[in-house]
Amino acid sequence: MDEDENLYRLGLCFVDLIGPIIARTLVNYCGSATAIFEEKAHLLSKIPGVGEERAKAFQKSSVLIRAQKEMEFCFENDIRILFFTEEVYPRRLLHCSDAPVLLFSKGKIDLNPNHAVAVVGTRSQSNYGKVITEKLVDEWAVFKPQIISGLALGIDTTAHRAALKNELETVAVLGHSLDLAYPFQNKNLFTEIAESGALISEFPSGTKPDAPNFPRRNRIVAGMTDATVVVEAAQKGGALITGQLASSYQRDVFAVPGRVNDAKSAGCLNLIKNNEAIVLTTPQDVPEVLGWQTEGSEPVRQMQLPVDLSTEEAGIISALRSGSMQVDELGSTLGRPISQLFALLTQLELKGIVRSRPGKKYELA
C-alpha cells in the first residue's frame, strides 16, 4: 500500500462534517482517498451530498498533520489500518450502509471467518446469564466460530473469556481508541484479546469512552457477524440496541428468554414479542439456523430437481447451491427486483425445493 494513500485514508477520519456515508461516496466518485484530497474544492462540492462547506474542509492543513501523527502512532503500536476497499476489511460490514470507511485493528486474526456470532448482554449479569453464556460458547466450540462482543463488564466479558477458554478467536469492538483499556477491570482481558484475537475500533488515538461512542460501537458488533445473541438485556441499553441494529441489517437475532418479572430479561422478551428475535432455548438453535457444519460432517444430500423449472427458478437454485442467502443478496446476485424474487421463491417453496429461514434468508431444502 502506498504510504501517501494510507495517509489520505487516515485524513478522511479528521475532516469536519465527513461521516462514513459521505466518505464512501467520495471514494466511489474519485477512486481513492488520495484523489479526493487532490481534487479541486469546486469539483468536490458538486458530488452528491458534499457541498461547498464539506469540500473546503479538505483544504485544512491540520487534517493531514493529524493524520500523519495517527499513522506514526499506528506504526509504533503495531495497529493495522483497515480500509473498506481492502480484502482484510470485515466483508460482512460492507452490507451495512453506515459502516465505517476505516477501522483500527490490533491483532493478527482474519476478520472474515467462516462463522461469526455476536454475544451481548447486560453489564449487571445474573448468575443465570453467566452460566447460559458460558454454556453457549462451550457448545459452539466444535464449529469454531469467531465470538464478537464489546468488552463491557458482564455478559460481554463472560463471552470473551469463554471464547479464550475454548481456544476460539474473539474480537472486542471498542467504544474508544486502542490506546486505552476500558473498563479498567478488563485490562488483562484487553491484553489477552490483543495477543490471541483482535481489538477493533473506528476511533483514532486519544478518543475517550464517551457515551455517544457506544451506540456507534454496537453497530460494528452487529454488522461484523452472521447473527447476534442477546443473553440478558434490560428494557433499555446497549445490548438491546445491538440486537435491534442486527435485525435492521437483516441478520439473525436470537434472544434468551427469562422470567417475565426479571428486569434483566425485559429487553430479550421485547425482542421476541416484537418478532425481532428468535427464541433461543438450546445452544444448537444457532448452528441449526445458520447452517454451520463441522469438519467431517455428512455432506448435504443431492436433491432431485423437477424438470419443469423455469429459467428464473433454475437461476435461484444455482445461486443457493453455495449456501443460504438473504433475499437482498440474492436479488443483487441475480439482478432481479425483490418483488419478483419473492414470487419465484414462493413457487419454489411450494415445490419443496427451497425453504425460508428467519432474517429473510432462503436455502435449498
Rounded Cα distance, 100 and 90, in Å: 11
- In the DSSP assignment, the letter for residue 254 is E
Mean pLDDT of 288-312: 63
Rounded Cα distance, 220 and 150, in Å: 9
Mean pLDDT of 23-47: 94
Give the dihedral sign, CA 261/265/271/272: negative
Question: Is residue 348 very low, low, confident or very high in pLDDT (cuts 50, 70, 90)?
Answer: confident
Model confidence, pTM? 0.79
What pLDDT digit, counting tens, does each position of 314-343 carry?
A: 778 777 876 788 888 888 777 778 778 888
Rounded Cα distance, 333 and 128, in Å: 43
Nearest to 239 by CA among 66, 77, 123: 123
Question: Is residue 309 very low, low, confident or very high in pLDDT (cuts 50, 70, 90)?
Answer: low
Give the dihedral sign, CA 276/135/121/176: negative
Question: Is residue 296 very low, low, confident or very high in pLDDT (cuts 50, 70, 90)?
Answer: low
Q: Does pLDDT of 75 surpass 90?
A: yes
Rounded Cα distance, 243 and 221, in Å: 10
Phi-psi region of 265 (alpha: psi -120 to 50; beta: other; left: phi over 0): alpha
For the ranges 109-118, 270-279, 292-301, the maximum mean pLDDT occurs at 109-118
Nearest to 109 by CA among 80, 72, 149: 80
Q: Does pLDDT of 227 surpass 70?
A: yes
Mean pLDDT of 161-173: 98
**Predicted local distance difference test score (pLDDT) of residue 300:** 37
Say if residues 122 and 233 touch (Cβ distance below 8 Å): yes
For the ranges 44-58, 300-314, 328-342, the maximum mean pLDDT occurs at 44-58
In this structure, the strands spanning 227-230 and 252-255 are parallel
Domains of the chain: 1-76 (1.10.150), 116-290 (3.40.50.450), 311-364 (1.10.10.10)
Say if residues 348 and 316 touch (Cβ distance below 8 Å): yes
Mean pLDDT of 279-301: 77
C-alpha cell at 241: 440496541
